[in-house]
Structure 1
Amino acid sequence: MKSEGVPSTNIAKMIALNPRSIMRNVGRMIHAVKTVKESGVEPKDRAFVYAVSAVGSMNHSSWKKKINVMKSLGWSEKEIFTAFKRYPLCLTCSEEKMRDVADFCFNTAKLDPGTLISYPVFFNLSVDKRLRPRYKVLEVLKVKNLVKNKKIALTGWFMQGEREFVKNNVVKHLDEIPNLMDIYRGNGASETKSVS
């Protein structure tokens, strides 16, 4: 890593965050560094060590499969590597998870592919525990006309911290919608109740 020009502080950060990364086979690490450089991430970039750690955590076959999943979603290689540079861990989730997140984002939330490229962190968010419950809350608030901005930015909606989200979007509306917390938590009975 040093010979590639990676700053010592970044190497130390990688070791602190993922100690196993320095226990990998040297050949695998060399391959990971080469792959990351080819993807366009520069050794001095802060993301470089995260990208090396991500690539080093999988074999070449898994890496190729994940790139192919992204391509099957309609992305070009350039777009895939743009997303990877923004958030290298986006390629560490399973192929099934990638498809599930893309399916939710494109077909349920109606986000365009460019949004997912800009926010590749979505691939590491849980569809069932974060994305879908928050989307349900938004839909209920829209039905009750409690959303001032009809073109609310879903990216901000999904990215808010848990405490902030619950306080600003669930607790705030419990007087108007008493079962909103149950809807958010996925209580089946509450979800089937009319919110009108």
Structure 2
Amino acid sequence: MFTAKPGRVLAMVACAEGIGVPRGSGMFRQALHAVSYISEDKIAAKVDYLKKTFRWLDAEVGIAVSKGPFILARSKDLLKRRSEFLISEVGLEPAYIARHPSLLSYSLEGRLRPWYYVMKFLTENRLLKRHTCYYTFVKATEMEFLDKFICPYKQAAPHLAEDYAAACKGEVPTRFRFT
């Protein structure tokens, strides 16, 4: 921004505000970064793509972009793969994803898919004492995840840690048993 012409900076500020991120927001700096190298036409095209791919309404796109302006800079392929996984496999509602756009920042192979396998395993084998939403699983740090969702189940599911490690490597966790 320091090297940009003043007119360009003003255009970036207007564009960031136009996508729903107010100047006082903690996300404003990220919004400026997201729109800094994307033309308004490309932003409009990306918004249309988000609507189609995630089945979002205008308001949901506004919520997602205001909470996670980084999604404007994500590739269409990345967004499509996340959409297919989160909606089709995990079964999340489009509005849920819009309220939690950080889901789109996590690695599909390194976090979203393996942690989903663990959640599904624990849920289907009735090992969780209470319902835990998917976002709670993925927003935890690796250490928190291990402490909350792997270590406590060493006796009830002795292969869970091993299967989780295999899933993180992109392998299909063969010993996960879903009842």
Counterpart of 2:34? 54
Counterpart of 1:67? 47
Counterpart of 1:15? none
Counterpart of 2:68? 87
The CA distance in 2 between the partners of 1:76 and 1:44, in whole Å, is: 25
Counterpart of 2:151? 171
Instruction: Tell me, yes or no, if the aligned pair for 1:69 and 1:99 is still in contact at 8 Å.
Output: no
Instruction: Tell me, yes or no, if the aligned pair for 1:71 and 1:77 is still in contact at 8 Å.
Output: yes
The CA distance in 2 between the partners of 1:128 and 1:92, in whole Å, is: 20
Structure possessing the higher relative contact order (Cα contacts under 8 Å, 6 or more residues apart): 2
Residue 181, structure 1, aligned to residue 161, structure 2: yes
1:188–1:66 distance in 2 versus 1, CA, 3 Å: closer
The CA distance in 1 between the partners of 2:176 and 2:111, in whole Å, is: 22
- The alpha-carbon deviation at position 188 of structure 1 amounts to 7.1
1:46–1:141 distance in 2 versus 1, CA, 3 Å: closer
Extract unaligned runs of 5+ from structure 2.
none
1:194–1:123 distance in 2 versus 1, CA, 3 Å: closer
TM-score by length of 1: 0.78
The CA distance in 2 between the partners of 1:87 and 1:117, in whole Å, is: 9
The CA distance in 1 between the partners of 2:5 and 2:162, in whole Å, is: 48
Counterpart of 1:97? 78
Instruction: Tell me, yes or no, if the aligned pair for 1:182 and 1:190 is still in contact at 8 Å.
Output: no
Residue 118, structure 1, aligned to residue 99, structure 2: yes
The CA distance in 1 between the partners of 2:125 and 2:57, in whole Å, is: 40
TM-score by length of 2: 0.85
Residue 109, structure 1, aligned to residue 94, structure 2: no
1:70-106 CA-to-partner distances (Å, cap 9, x unmatched) read 1113212232122111122222211111111111111
Counterpart of 2:116? 135
Mapping of 1:2-41 within 5 angstroms? 21-24=1-4, 26-41=6-21
Query: What is the letter of the counterpart of residue 2 of structure 2?
Result: I
Amino-acid identity (%): 22
Aligned length: 175
Q: CA RMSD in A?
A: 2.2
